[in-house]
């Protein structure tokens, strides 16, 4: 199929309506937006009798296993052929992981639904709304466009997707329309307290063990505006922590008063470091991450860098300090 240059939710709806079999996937190291959006769209397309498969490059993290339909999400490339492959919450094919990104150059029609800024949409049919705080909100709009009725299970997944990516409606991207959509979803008896407890409050013991090891690594730059925390492979081996248990570590440096850029360095294998970047007020960390082949949003971004953790840390901290200095001048 020819790549369409238009950015049209109607074209996405049409493509899905015309398909019989549809595969849906979110991104590597999936978060609540990725998983919730995948399941919500999968359940909704099932309701209009599509043959749907839901997958994820990595396993559904334990904290999202309470989601209705999470047991239908497979891992990696499923068997069989599909008419359409829908990539969710992925700004570039890399975010689908090694296996699933091969579908982007395959004969299957690829649909991309996302809320990250993208200079060059990669799919055959794209709908990218970088004003949306979450992919979940776009899925809500898509289901309205397709006249698919919501129900409790779909609403619970969409609520989780939106609550996750807005930090429980606290982040800058939260808009009146976000709350209008949430008000509609709550009419389907979403158990808000249960969702909040599951995704924000209750944590497995490993999260606290990770914190015990990681907090002593917290450092702040001389200027007081950049702070970072690290988690290396040795630390990971000391406790049986999974990636998902380290997800919120970046919030500790971010919450220090006066800090503008917070960084989290996680060694994922020897010679490979995942960097999470957050900013509080003015630094565009999407641009900072892009310098290292990563991406994301203005206030939350990330990248994957080859190198030892100390070298990577030195390089990124220096770039962050420079970005803060440049940003301060423009203020």
Please give the residue ranges that form the binding site for Mn ion (CB under 5 A): 33, 89, 135, 165
Residue count at the site for ligand 5GP (CB under 6 A)?
Answer: 13
Cα(44)–Cα(148) distance, integer angstroms: 7
Cα–Cα separations (whole angstroms), residue 62 to 32, 158, 243: 11, 18, 11
User: At closest approach, how far in Å is the CB of 51 from Mn ion?
Assistant: 26
Among the listed residues 24, 296, 309, 323, the single contact to ligand 5GP using CB under 6 A: 296
User: Binding marks (x or -) toward ligand 5GP, 83..102, rule CB under 6 A?
Assistant: --------xx--x-------
Q: Is 36 in the site for ligand 5GP (CB under 6 A)?
A: no
Question: Dmax over Cα atoms in the chain, in whole Å?
Answer: 60
Should residue 57 be labelled a site residue for ligand 5GP when binding is judged by CB under 6 A?
no
Q: Which is nearer to ligand 5GP, 157 or 276 (CB)?
A: 276
Among positive and negative, which fits the CA dihedral 157, 30, 8, 49?
negative
221: its two tokens: 């730059």
Q: Which residue, 86 or 92, is less far from ligand 5GP as judged by CB?
A: 92
Instruction: For residue 232, give both structure tokens.
Output: 């290396």
Q: Is 276 in the site for ligand 5GP (CB under 6 A)?
A: yes
In the chain the beta strands, taken as DSSP E runs, fall at 21-25, 51-56, 73-75, 84-88, 109-114, 125-128, 219-220, 226-231, 261-269, 272-279, 295-296, 300-306
For residue 133, the minimal CB distance to Mn ion (Å) is 8
Minimum gap (Å) between residue 138 Cβ and ligand 5GP = 14
Does the footprint of ligand 5GP cover residue 35 (CB under 6 A)? Answer: no
Q: Which is nearer to ligand 5GP, 94 or 151 (CB)?
A: 94
Which long-range CB contacts under 8 A does 101-106 form with residues at least 24 apart? 102/77, 103/23, 103/77
| Binder of ligand 5GP out of 36, 294, 305, 312 (CB under 6 A) | 294
- Stretch 299-328: interaction string toward ligand 5GP, x if CB under 6 A: -xxxxx------------------------
Query: Per CB under 6 A, does 297 bind ligand 5GP?
Result: yes
**Alpha-carbon dihedral sign for residues 201, 204, 208, 210:** negative
Token match 């949409």: residue? 121
108 forms beta bridges with: none
The residues binding ligand 5GP (CB under 6 A) are: 91-92, 95, 276, 294-297, 300-304
């Amino acid at each position: 199929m020819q790549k369409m240059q238009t950015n049209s939710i109607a074209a996405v709806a049409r493509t899905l309506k015309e398909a019989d079999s549809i595969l849906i996937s979110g991104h590597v190291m999936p978060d609540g937006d990725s998983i919730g959006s995948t399941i919500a769209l999968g359940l909704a397309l099932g309701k209009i009798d599509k043959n749907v498969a839901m997958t994820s490059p990595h396993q559904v993290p334990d904290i999202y296993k309470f989601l209705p339909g999470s047991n239908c999400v497979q891992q990696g490339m499923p068997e069989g052929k599909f008419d359409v492959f829908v990539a969710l919450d992925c700004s570039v094919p890399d975010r689908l992981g090694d296996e699933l990104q091969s579908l982007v150059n395959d004969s299957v029609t690829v649909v991309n639904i996302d809320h990250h800024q993208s200079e060059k949409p990669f799919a055959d049919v794209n709908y990218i709304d970088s004003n949306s705080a979450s992919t979940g909100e776009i899925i809500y709009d898509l289901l309205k466009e397709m006249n698919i009725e919501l129900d409790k299970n779909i609403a619970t997944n969409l609520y989780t997707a939106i609550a996750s990516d807005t930090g429980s409606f606290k982040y800058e991207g939260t808009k009146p329309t976000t709350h209008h959509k949430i008000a509609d979803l709550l009419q389907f008896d979403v158990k808000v307290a249960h969702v909040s407890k599951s995704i924000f409050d209750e944590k497995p013991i490993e999260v606290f063990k990770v914190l015990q090891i990681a907090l002593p690594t917290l450092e702040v730059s001389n200027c007081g505006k950049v702070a970072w925390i690290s988690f290396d492979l040795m630390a990971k081996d000391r406790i049986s922590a999974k990636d998902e248990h380290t997800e919120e570590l970046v919030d500790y440096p971010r919450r220090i008063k006066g800090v503008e850029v917070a960084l989290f360095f996680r060694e994922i294998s020897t010679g490979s470091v995942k960097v999470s970047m957050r900013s509080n007020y003015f630094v565009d960390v999407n641009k900072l991450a892009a310098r290292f082949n990563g991406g994301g949003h203005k206030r939350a971004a990330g990248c994957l860098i080859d190198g030892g953790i100390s070298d990577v840390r030195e390089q990124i901290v220096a770039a962050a300090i420079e970005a803060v200095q440049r940003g301060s001048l423009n203020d």
